[in-house]
Structure 1
Amino acid sequence: MSPEPTPVLAAGAVCWRMVDGKPRVLVVYRAGHADVSLPKGKVDPGETLPETAVREIREETGLGIVLGAPLGTVEYTLPNGREKVVYYWSAEVNDHDLALAKFTPNDEIASVEWLTIGAVRKKLSYEHDVDVINRFAKRFKAGNARTFPVIAVRHGKAVDPGTWDGQDATRPLLQRGMDQAAGIAKGIAAFAPERIISSTAVRCLSTVAPLSELTGIPVKPTEAISQDAYEEGTSDVPAVIAKRLKRKVGAVLCSHGPVLPRIIAELAARTETEADAQLRRAASLNTGDFTVLHVSLRHPRRGLVAVETHSPA
């Protein structure tokens, strides 16, 4: 018996903006399919899902977007019998990005239109797209449509401590670790962090170096989230998390396997989020993985809006 074919993976977004005090959502009219849908597209080889969503929105609509919190997935069967899974995020579009957008009708997308949520529900051709809009509408009504990300990153694969003669903090990344670091840079950048904070260990600093180069954001090293300080009892995770919640801007925290559960537990406690199985899984990262924890700008102490974890492409 032949194995089941792997699903086709795709990613997209509910692009929204405020007009006269109400949200408008972007839909696309697809010429080839003769339908109305949310913008999305298939994952290219070597891409993370967040990276795909940003690229596809730009290609289909001309918009450069920043991903907000995820809106879950939809699954359906293609005409050829293969399953397709589409991952969606919300993405608020500001006036500046809208002014820069240049949409050109093409063979795939005939036109785009901004509509009220009610009008979008009526226009969309597929019920699964309406489900995504309903998820967004529920989040908007709760006051949680606007969020900022705290992105916890575990360093890439490093030289084994048993084979390293120097201090543990000086262990470098293996080639696999360098590949992991390069593979997550665009995926993290999709959430537009404004700060990159790293343990002082070489393996952490090297992991966020490609992200820093891509975004132009300098890396701020700190012992507060280093493994050495954690094991010595001199780390200061609470202060780091408190500052991030006070500033309310996206930030990357690159640290170590033993420290990351403490970082995420502290964020959960300060946002009054129940420490459930999902959060525990989000804290148990493999090397090179990253977890995005979405905090509500309006209600930061009413629980995290969403949590998602990604691996290197």
Structure 2
Amino acid sequence: MTAPPVLAAGALVWRAVGDEVLVLLVERTQHRDFSLPKGKLDPGETLPECAVREIEEETGLRIALGAPLPQSEYRLSDGRDKVVYYWQAKADEAVVAASAFSPNDEIHALEWLPLAAAKQRCTYEHDVAIIARFEERLAAGHAETFPLIALRHAKAANPFDWQGSDASRTLTERGERQARRVAPGIAAFGPERIVTSDAVRCVQTVEPLGRLLGIEPKATPLISQESPEDPREALERRIGKAVRKRRGTVLCSHAPIIPEIVTAVVHAADAAETDSTHRASMLHTAEFTVLHVSAGEMPALVALETHGSHEK
């Protein structure tokens, strides 16, 4: 029986110094090789949560993830496969200044290098390929992005057993666990605003996220499946404003509304609806889709990805 692959996550961390873009490489203490920072997934973690944790542990930098980059796959010495997921992540000067890195048993040194020099310094070709893909994004004006996140509420009480109104249904114990577990994965993308349906199950779903980010969620009936008006119009207005302001936003709602959220983002980014955007709108409880929109002069849908809480 084939062993499951070892999962890991990391990021291509970059910064702008004058007119030059620098990429962060780490030199590992034991192997003395140069690579992009990454680390193995802990039990119960989402991949974005793992990436942010590992970057901070290895480099001291507290970053928010941008758009995903290609994953790398290779065989370990023990015969198992390893799959590493990467994102691009900008580190501004305040983040760099706040870093408390010092050489340790795992990481010997950090190096900020221009793109060409970074590709030459990398020990492994899969890291070179990831830097090259980021270079393409940079040339297209898509190095900086902001997230628009569609979140389906966590598991709620059975509607057939519930005595009150549908909007008053609360999360089950499983749903509460889902809400707690999914929060760090969403927070990894650094959203600035949380908007939720005013249904109790949606409000409860974003409470752990709000506490984690220090953001007070805004509840509104206008993105509820029981909205007093057509939710599509409300979503077009709200998401259009988020795109104009380049503001990362979480929108938590119900299964029938999630496709409308994704469609509104696609329209606001002047993109086309595809099989990928359709699949990204078909979420299970406590799953979320991140739509990465370029923060450049013209909005564009750079990438999308879907994650969940892993809570059964």
- Kindly provide the amino acid, as one letter, of the partner of residue 22 in structure 1: E
- Kindly provide the amino acid, as one letter, of the partner of residue 306 in structure 2: T
* 1:181-223 superposed Cα distances (whole Å, 9 cap, x missing partner): 0011111111111101000000000000000111110010111
Distance 1:151 1:15 in 2: 22
Distance 1:103 1:44 in 2: 22
- Kindly provide the amino acid, as one letter, of the partner of residue 172 in structure 1: T
Q: Aligned residue pairs: how many?
A: 309
Report the equivalent of 2:306: 309
TM superposition shift of 1:297? 0.8
Report the equivalent of 1:110: 108
Contact kept in structure 2, 1:195 and 1:252, CA below 8 Å: yes
TM superposition shift of 1:233? 3.7
130, 133, 158: which one aligns with 1:132? 130
Contact kept in structure 1, 2:155 and 2:285, CA below 8 Å: yes
Which is further off, 171-180 or 264-273?
A: 264-273
Contact kept in structure 1, 2:223 and 2:231, CA below 8 Å: no
Distance 1:110 1:167 in 2: 59
Report the equivalent of 1:94: 92
TM superposition shift of 1:299? 4.4
**Mapped pair 1:194 → 2:192:** yes
Report the equivalent of 1:44: 42
Which is further off, 266-275 or 166-175?
A: 266-275
53, 56, 62: which one aligns with 1:55? 53
What SS does the corresponding residue of 1:55 show, helix, strand or coil? helix
* 1:70-96 superposed Cα distances (whole Å, 9 cap, x missing partner): 112000000101000000001100111
**Mapped pair 1:30 → 2:7:** no
Distance 2:105 2:217 in 1: 43
Q: CA RMSD in A?
A: 1.2
Q: 1:146 to 1:171 in 2, by over 3 A?
A: same
- Kindly provide the amino acid, as one letter, of the partner of residue 83 in structure 1: D
What SS does the corresponding residue of 1:245 show, helix, strand or coil? helix
Report the equivalent of 2:6: 8
What SS does the corresponding residue of 1:163 show, helix, strand or coil? coil
TM-score by length of 1: 0.96
Distance 2:302 2:86 in 1: 15
- Kindly provide the amino acid, as one letter, of the partner of residue 303 in structure 2: A
Q: 1:32 to 1:266 in 2, by over 3 A?
A: same
TM superposition shift of 1:20? 2.1
Distance 2:230 2:294 in 1: 31
- Kindly provide the amino acid, as one letter, of the partner of residue 60 in structure 1: E
Distance 2:119 2:244 in 1: 37
Report the equivalent of 1:257: 255
**Identity over the aligned pairs, expressed in percent?**
51
Unaligned residue ranges in structure 2 (runs of 5+): none
What SS does the corresponding residue of 2:55 show, helix, strand or coil? helix
TM superposition shift of 1:239? 1.4
What SS does the corresponding residue of 1:72 show, helix, strand or coil? strand
TM superposition shift of 1:234? 5.8
TM superposition shift of 1:21? 0.8
149, 152, 159: which one aligns with 1:151? 149
What SS does the corresponding residue of 2:180 show, helix, strand or coil? helix
Report the equivalent of 2:81: 83
What SS does the corresponding residue of 1:279 show, helix, strand or coil? helix
Which is further off, 35-44 or 292-301?
A: 292-301
Contact kept in structure 2, 1:154 and 1:290, CA below 8 Å: yes
Q: 1:164 to 1:23 in 2, by over 3 A?
A: same
TM superposition shift of 1:34? 2.3
Distance 2:107 2:197 in 1: 45
Report the equivalent of 2:273: 275
TM-score by length of 2: 0.97
Contact kept in structure 2, 1:144 and 1:299, CA below 8 Å: no
Report the equivalent of 2:214: 216
Contact kept in structure 2, 1:224 and 1:240, CA below 8 Å: no
Report the equivalent of 2:120: 122
Distance 2:239 2:97 in 1: 35
- Kindly provide the amino acid, as one letter, of the partner of residue 304 in structure 1: L
Distance 1:157 1:60 in 2: 35
Contact kept in structure 2, 1:290 and 1:310, CA below 8 Å: yes
**Mapped pair 1:239 → 2:237:** yes
Distance 1:134 1:39 in 2: 16
What SS does the corresponding residue of 2:131 show, helix, strand or coil? helix
